Amino acid sequence: MSEERIQFNAKKGKWYVSKKIKIDENTSNEEIARVLASIEETLSIKIKDFLPFDMEKLRAIADEIYEKKKGRVKEEDISGALTKLKSPGTTKKLGTIDDTKEGKEILKRLLTEIVLERLGITSKIEAKMIEKYIEKSKAK
């Protein structure tokens, strides 16, 4: 029977990452989830680095939609930002970065991620969250 494992290796120029875990009868599903979340975090960061878009321009568009403020985010901030995010005007601005339909679609998703993060809305589970969960679960 072959060994069960998760193994992710990447090398591009000076960037190198290796994340792996051997899976046996003592490996919990939570530990597997933590490694997978860590891989997802790495991929999410590096994908942006390898895309040909001007990220400064994209952040400037995000600033027009919503600039992060101190304190609690209000409901009207969220609804206003989402309205601006989905507006034809925003799509037109994305066209100044890339004029292809596919490029604008990628940029729209990157912009959505930036704006939602600024609003305090995240959808990704971070490896550290799972790590803390594992620690708390073991302490019980």
pLDDT score at 111:
98
pLDDT at residue 1 is higher than 60: no
Helix %, strand %, coil % for the chain, to 5? Answer: 60, 15, 30
Q: Cα torsion for 15, 43, 130, 125, to the nearest 10°? A: 150
pLDDT at residue 59 is higher than 70: yes
Residue with tokens 């600033």: 63
Residue 76 or 138, more confident: 76
Q: What is the mean pLDDT of residues 108-132?
A: 95
Q: What is the mean pLDDT of residues 120-129?
A: 93
pLDDT score at 121:
94
